[in-house]
Chain A
Amino acid sequence: MLSFGAYLFGLWSRYLIYVGLLFQALYMTSRGIELGRLPLVGAHDTVTFLSLSIVTFSIPFRVLLKGSSGFHAGTVILCLLLTAFSLFSRPYNMPLPPVLRTFWFEVHVVMAFLSYALFALSAILGYVYLKEGDALLDGMQYRAVLVGYCLFTLSIIFGGIWAYLAWGTYWLWTPKELWTSILWLFYGFYLHARLRQWWTGRPMAILSITGFAIVMFTYLGVSLLMKSSHSF
């Protein structure tokens, strides 16, 4: 609630976004201590972690953009929406099933959400590019996607190792895995398309925004609408 307020007022005073970040970091730490594990199960915790990661990763971009109001507003509005969603989601406080109590699961989830945060920032940068057309933003989008793609690939590898140890198979044909493949292929397309002149500029920005829409559907849409191997 406090972080929601900080982000809301952060629309007018930009330093309050860091106050929101601090509140969310303290909240996640306190939940971790209370639960005795990484608090990354269920929509409430994962959305909070996603919002926290977006603000954290936005810091170097803020420095490079020297206080772009469009980028600031985009980041704050997205974090506000995510924080509001987490407020309405019930926290998962039950003991973890034994199969989730492993390093492989934790690192799989952490990497996935860090990559989602970078894809989110790339979409915000894409939106600002469409408004302002600054070439610097195009390069920043690419960097965010490339590092995000690396973390996302790591998440898939760790998820595969964990699934092999937990269920004897590194790949399951469920909607979540299929959407994960779609996301990986989509950003693979993004990285290849950038090598062709026709796609540079506005098309790249539109691809960044589309990519984040696929991220959100893979994360929330599939979990809420379809039966899958993942609860979130």
Chain B
Amino acid sequence: MSLFKEITRGFYSLKTALWLLILLLLLFIAGAVFMPLNTEYTFMSSMPLFQWLRGQPIRIAWWIWGSIGILSLLAINTILCSVESLARKGRARGWLLLIAPQIIHIGFLLVLFAHLLDAAQGFKYLSVVRPGTILQIDDDSLLRIRDIDINIDASGYIRDWRVSVEYISDSRTTGDDVLRPNRPLVRDGLNVSVKDLRAFPHKAVLLQISREPGALWALGGGVLIMAGIIILILFKIRIEK
């Protein structure tokens, strides 16, 4: 019982957070050194993380599993420390300064949740397409590549491009759209974007159809982190002076 209490108390501690951050940094650094040395990581970004992890032996993925474990402990520690801090200093003056770190913590947890969601429920499909190629994008819709237009200057640099597409449902064209640089097709949570283009010997495009259910959560988390840091800058720097 006392051991359980000791462990629980440890999770309320900033010291634990610091140790977990040190461990996480060490695992990330090990991974960053390890990553360029192994070809298995080449396809890591072309599928959701958990799908990629399922196909990897532990000798390749050990630092990612370790990081997921540490991040889980860090998430618990963040929640407990935030709750404890609010309970302890709840009636103190300067509530904005009190809640600013908690806003950052909520943002951090949202970003973790976003990555978890994408790792577990994300979807990525890559395909090389040419004019006339038809791809299935959901249960009852097809996407047909109508035309690929690549603007190449005299020096051989791609200056601009556009990929015209049309949607087909029940053998009828139901709409059309154009993919441009930094302008993907976003439809019912699906993102259709161009990863690469080739003008010779045939016009072809490497198209990615992806679903990242965590994208908006990550953006929301990022905005909360920013809001918390800005409050800290406005109030904490004045106190530091």
Contact = CB atoms under 8 A, between A and B. Distances in A.
B238 to A, nearest CB: 10
Nearest to B214: A170
B199 interface: no
A98 B158 contact: yes
Interface residues of B, number: 55
Contact of A139 (B28, B45, B241): B241
Contacts of A186: 25
A181 B158 CA distance: 32
Nearest to A217: B32
Contact of A181 (B15, B28, B157, B195): B28
A29 interface: no
Given A173-B49, A185-B28, A189-B18, A166 B181 contact: yes
B191 interface: yes
A154 interface: yes
Contacts of B73: none
Contact of A178 (B28, B193, B218): B28
A157 B226 contact: yes
Nearest to A102: B182
Given A98-B160, A192-B14, A161 B181 contact: no
Given A164-B215, A168-B192, A173-B49, A182 B28 contact: yes
A167 B209 CA distance: 10
Contacts of B28: 178, 181-182, 185
Contact of B182 (A99, A171, A182, A196): A99
Interface of B: 14-15, 17-18, 21-22, 24-25, 28-29, 31-32, 35-36, 41, 44-45, 49, 115, 118, 124, 153, 155, 157-161, 181-184, 191-193, 195, 208-210, 212, 215, 218-219, 222-223, 225-226, 229-230, 232-233, 236-237, 240-241
A195 B14 CA distance: 9
A176 B159 CA distance: 26
Given A99-B181, A149-B229, A153-B226, A167 B193 contact: yes
Interface of A: 94-95, 97-99, 101-102, 104, 139, 142-143, 146-147, 149-150, 153-154, 156-157, 160-162, 164-175, 178-179, 181-182, 185-186, 188-189, 192-193, 195-196, 225-227
Contacts of B36: 175, 225-227
